[in-house]
Amino acid sequence: GNSVTQMEGPVTLSEEAFLTINCTYTATGYPSLFWYVQYPGEGLQLLLKATKADDKGSNKGFEATYRKETTSFHLEKGSVQVSDSAVYFCALSKLFQGAQKLVFGQGTRLTINP
């Protein structure tokens, strides 16, 4: 079946550190891939997405590249800020019985210390 696996958290970094959160997926065909973010006390919101192989999604300094050969969509940021502290969810979207099914990973809690 379709599934998403994220690196286990929590992840704690100092401000200005380089960030990588790993995400791999299992799916037949060509799903769309997403990163969602949940800031403290807020609802989930889309951070970035990529809809085909080798596409790079980017937003707010974050980037992720759709790698079909390694079935991965790792999230990266060159220099994190305290305001990036949140829970990050990797997700895939695939047509299932004619409808879009959205499957999430378990989430990775990120804490950035000043």
Partner 1 sequence: GAGVSQSPSNKVTEKGKDVELRCDPISGHTALYWYRQRLGQGLEFLIYFQGNSAPDKSGLPSDRFSAERTGESVSTLTIQRTQQEDSAVYLCASSSGAWNTEAFFGQGTRLTVV
List contacts with partner 1 (CB under 8 A).
31-32, 34, 43-46, 49, 51, 89, 93-107, 109
Q: Which is nearer to partner 1, 72 or 93 (CB)?
A: 93
* Smallest separation (angstroms) from partner 1 to the CB of 1: 9
Q: Which is nearer to partner 1, 58 or 93 (CB)?
A: 93
Smallest separation, CB 62 to partner 1 (Å): 15
Query: What are the CB-based long-range contacts (under 8 Å, 24+) for 36-41?
Result: 36/88, 36/89, 36/91, 36/104, 37/86, 37/87, 37/88, 37/89, 38/86, 38/87, 38/88, 38/89, 38/107, 39/85, 39/86, 40/85, 40/86
